[in-house]
Chains A and B, each alone.
Chain A
Amino acid sequence: MASGLTLKELSKQEDRFTHGHRMCAGCGAPIVVKMVLLATEGPVIAANATGCLEVSSCISEYTAWKIPWIHTAFENAAATLSGVETMYRSLKKRGRIDKDVKFIAFGGDGGTYDIGFQSLSGAMERGHDMIYVCYDNGAYMNTGIQRSSATPLGADTTTCPAGDVVPGKLRSRKNLTKIMAAHNIPYAAQASPSHWMDLIKKVQKAHSYQGPKFLNIISPCNRGWRSKTNDAITLSRLAVNTCYWPLYEIDNGVTKITSTPKEKLPIADFMKPQGRFKHVFAPGNEWLLEKIQQEVDAEWEKLQKEAKCG
């Protein structure tokens, strides 16, 4: 089980999310799921919101999940898992089950920031013992790259296409990690598959607390980001190093940046390899790039201040 924190140790563990899934080559989501499960010791039950991960991992008689897994709908992974967890507590209390079980929900950004927001908020407020993992690829990818409230400013999606008049998404992202922390849950954090050690530590830390925990993990999608299939790790690293996706945790109310980039790179470095931002670099849209940079800087400043206050 996940005790050693070396790649060698981890590689010896049995995969609990296994081959046969049908996600696109180079997709970030299965990497995220594998890492989260590698960092999880002992019995675990997963719930999954409708989305790319779900539709590609359990089809007809085939499943890539070697752990008990449940999908019911799009907007309710948290509510569904809260039911599973409640039954577990009930049966434990009644002496019908003796094992200790962990609970993890996986949802995309659409299923988490948007349509599943209420169900997530409710489950966190009720205090169910679970980790909710959002694999954030910044759009409704399964239905063909539509805008969500996690879609970054300026991005081209099929419902906020970069057109002659409107240059992609004109609204900024919702800061869900902080909103979840504002539920006064014991642990909320942001992670990236590029920083696997940081990610695994966060999962382990989250498991060490009783109650609801939230992890927001960036998950590159080469289809939606219009990027190369071998760029998932590079792009998630650039997201961290440009401070677009800072790695931090809010541990019982205390904010800590868990990995600061040695050199903060310009946001353009993250955006340029992605076709969804191509128009931002076209003449006439300089203001947009500037605005995006300003926003990243302001958010990073704010986070650093919060981390200083502890």
Chain B
Amino acid sequence: MAKVVAVTGNEAVAEALRQVNPDVCGIYPITPQTDMMQRYASFINNGKVDTEAVLVESEHSSMSACIGASAAGGRVVTATSSTGLALMWEMLHIASGDRLPIIMPVVNRALSAPLNIHGDHSDAMGARDTGWIQIWSENGQEAYDNTIQAFRIGEHMDIRLPAMVCMDGFIISHSIERMEYLEDAEVKKFVGEFKNLHPLLDLDKPKSYGPLILTDLFHEYKRAQHEVMTKVKGVVLEVAGEFEKLSGRKYGLFESYRLEDADIALVILNSAAGTSKDVVDAFRDRGIKAGLLKPRLFRPFPYEEVAAALKNTKAVCVMDRADSFGGYGPLFMEVSSALYQLRNRPALINKIYGLGGRDYLPSHAELVLNELDGIAKGGKINVFKEYIGVRE
């Protein structure tokens, strides 16, 4: 039986972790994640879980310790934000290269400089090429649900990859929402016992982790990583199906919102999708066929499915809460790659919004949808990539 609660995103994810009760967790403070693992530490010290924590001296060591713990053989979690994720960068590649299913909530925050503690997606977008699965969440409920599902996805015997669960810093991590918790026993059963694969702690069959591999086999090793990524989509959907049976909440590779007959559409991640959906509704009320696509699985990116979902639109704007300076926004690059395969493609523009926690307002969505409406009706594209919500 679900329990209805009013909690913050951080609280909800900490609760999901408590219900899973992993073997080892790495803990290190960084705003806006701090409060999540702080809560977890208090679960440990109050006997609510029996996880062993490693109270590391940096995120680099946190990920290193998580890698050691995961290779040793067991379920491992940590959480981070922003520069903490950036400091882990080297080790993120090693976690995925060693095929270790570490689960890591990432509370998205801007990267320095200038120093800024608020939400944007620069951190996780910077980690998109590290070989981790990335699952993005609009609100606290999704962050909670995605965290629970991430264990099943990353630890799946056909996958064995680390996974990040992303949610917006402050906007989600620190706002109280109504949501539903599953029962402890339900989560435990859903996630299941951790299954080991080549654990270091199998003392009778010693293994060497982390060899030097040069030109002879490195390329093949990396192709294997590519190949396993192609299987992730199927597992995500399978796990989502089971989760729906348990919770009644439906998840896919992305969410399509009023997209079936849409002429214009926004593609937008995480919390800003919520704001945008209201504006889409308002446009629909005015008779304009607007829709929205909210990616959930960003790595691996579901190119074919996204293309299919957008193929009948006339104009699409990809909204990025991160920039690849000198290039388009990171989400734009994915969506345009997806659409390229279509014979008839919608017009495509890119807006950068909300960096460093800048508010994303309904008026911003309105402006963009109006622009798309003009383009869809035969208007010209003035500029492909543009910052919106800028103080001039």
Cβ of A118 and Cβ of B58 under 8 Å apart?
A: yes
Interface: B176 (CB within 8 A): no
Q: A66: which of B71, B201, B206, B217 is its contact (CB, 8 Å)?
A: B206
Interface: A158 (CB within 8 A): no
Q: Please, how many angstroms separate the alpha-carbon atoms of A160 and B68 in the complex?
A: 35
Residues of A within 8 A of B61 (CB): 76, 79, 82, 118-119, 122-123
- Known contacts: A54-B212, A87-B69. The answer to whether A45 contacts B200 by CB under 8 A is yes
Cβ of A97 and Cβ of B201 under 8 Å apart?
A: yes
Binary CB contact string for chain A from 140 to 172 against chain B (1 if under 8 A, 0 otherwise):
000000000000000000000000000000000
Q: Report the count of interface residues on A (CB-CB < 8 A).
A: 47
Interface: A8 (CB within 8 A): no
Residues of B within 8 A of A48 (CB): 210
Cβ of B55 and Cβ of A76 under 8 Å apart?
A: no
Q: Please, how many angstroms separate the alpha-carbon atoms of A91 and B70 in the complex?
A: 12
- Known contacts: A86-B52, A87-B23, A90-B51. The answer to whether A72 contacts B210 by CB under 8 A is yes
Tell which of A56-64, A182-190, A291-299 binds the partner: A56-64
Residues of A within 8 A of B98 (CB): 72
Interface: A55 (CB within 8 A): yes
Number of A-B contacts (CB under 8 A): 165
Interface: B306 (CB within 8 A): no
Min Cβ gap B56→A in Å is 6
Cβ of A91 and Cβ of B212 under 8 Å apart?
A: no
**Interface hits, A115-129 → B, CB 8 Å:** 118-119, 121-123, 125-126
Interface: A70 (CB within 8 A): yes
Binary CB contact string for chain A from 68 to 102 against chain B (1 if under 8 A, 0 otherwise):
11111101100111111111111101100101010
Interface: A261 (CB within 8 A): no
Cβ of B54 and Cβ of A83 under 8 Å apart?
A: yes
Q: Please, how many angstroms separate the alpha-carbon atoms of A43 and B50 in the complex?
A: 25
Residues of B within 8 A of A90 (CB): 23-24, 50-52, 69, 74
Cβ of B201 and Cβ of A101 under 8 Å apart?
A: yes
Q: Please, how many angstroms separate the alpha-carbon atoms of A122 and B51 in the complex?
A: 20
- Known contacts: A90-B23, A90-B51, A122-B58. The answer to whether A79 contacts B74 by CB under 8 A is no
Min Cβ gap A100→B in Å is 10
Q: Please, how many angstroms separate the alpha-carbon atoms of A122 and B57 in the complex?
A: 6
Cβ of B65 and Cβ of A68 under 8 Å apart?
A: no
Interface: A65 (CB within 8 A): yes
Interface: A47 (CB within 8 A): yes
Cβ of A58 and Cβ of B56 under 8 Å apart?
A: no
Interface: B103 (CB within 8 A): no
Interface: A67 (CB within 8 A): yes
Q: Please, how many angstroms separate the alpha-carbon atoms of A68 and B68 in the complex?
A: 12
- Known contacts: A76-B64, A76-B91, A86-B24. The answer to whether A68 contacts B211 by CB under 8 A is no
- Known contacts: A68-B206, A90-B23, A90-B52. The answer to whether A119 contacts B69 by CB under 8 A is no
Binary CB contact string for chain B from 14 to 57 against chain A (1 if under 8 A, 0 otherwise):
00000000011010000000000000000000000011111111
Cβ of A83 and Cβ of B24 under 8 Å apart?
A: yes
How many chain B residues sit at the interface, stated as a range, is: 35 or more
Q: Please, how many angstroms separate the alpha-carbon atoms of A80 and B61 in the complex?
A: 7
Q: Please, how many angstroms separate the alpha-carbon atoms of A79 and B60 in the complex?
A: 9
Considering the complex, give the chain B residue whose CB is closest to the CB of A82: B65
Q: A65: which of B54, B66, B206, B213 is its contact (CB, 8 Å)?
A: B206
Cβ of B57 and Cβ of A87 under 8 Å apart?
A: no
Cβ of B203 and Cβ of A43 under 8 Å apart?
A: yes
Min Cβ gap A42→B in Å is 9
Considering the complex, give the chain A residue whose CB is closest to the CB of B93: A73
Q: Please, how many angstroms separate the alpha-carbon atoms of A295 and B112 in the complex?
A: 44
**Interface hits, B181-227 → A, CB 8 Å:** 200-203, 206-214, 216-217
Cβ of A60 and Cβ of B212 under 8 Å apart?
A: yes
Cβ of A63 and Cβ of B65 under 8 Å apart?
A: no
Min Cβ gap B145→A in Å is 26
Min Cβ gap B215→A in Å is 10
**Interface hits, B51-88 → A, CB 8 Å:** 51-58, 60-62, 64-74, 76
Interface: B90 (CB within 8 A): yes
Interface hub of B50, B56, B65 (most chain A Cβ within 10 A): B65
Q: Please, how many angstroms separate the alpha-carbon atoms of A65 and B205 in the complex?
A: 12
Cβ of A68 and Cβ of B52 under 8 Å apart?
A: no
Residues of B within 8 A of A85 (CB): 68
Interface: B235 (CB within 8 A): no
Residues of A within 8 A of B69 (CB): 83-84, 86-87, 90
Interface: B388 (CB within 8 A): no
Q: A47: which of B57, B62, B68 is its contact (CB, 8 Å)?
A: B68
Interface: B94 (CB within 8 A): yes
Cβ of A45 and Cβ of B212 under 8 Å apart?
A: no
Cβ of B211 and Cβ of A83 under 8 Å apart?
A: no
Interface hub of B50, B51, B201 (most chain A Cβ within 10 A): B201
Q: Please, how many angstroms separate the alpha-carbon atoms of A84 and B23 in the complex?
A: 11
- Known contacts: A70-B200, A86-B65. The answer to whether A91 contacts B57 by CB under 8 A is no
Q: B74: which of A72, A81, A91 is its contact (CB, 8 Å)?
A: A91
Further pairs besides A63-B208, A83-B68, A87-B24: 8, Cβ < 8 Å? A59-B213, A61-B211, A70-B200, A79-B61, A85-B68, A90-B24, A91-B73, A122-B58
Q: Sorted from nearest, which 10 A-B pairs have the closest CB atoms?
A: A83-B68, A122-B57, A83-B65, A71-B210, A87-B72, A79-B61, A79-B64, A83-B69, A76-B64, A90-B52
A–B complex contacts, Cβ < 8 Å, 15 sampled: A45-B201, A47-B68, A58-B211, A60-B211, A68-B207, A72-B67, A73-B90, A75-B60, A79-B68, A80-B67, A89-B52, A91-B74, A94-B50, A118-B61, A122-B61
Chain A residues packing against B (C-beta within 8 Å): 43, 45, 47-48, 54-55, 58-61, 63, 65-73, 75-76, 79-91, 93-94, 97, 99, 101, 118-119, 121-123, 125-126
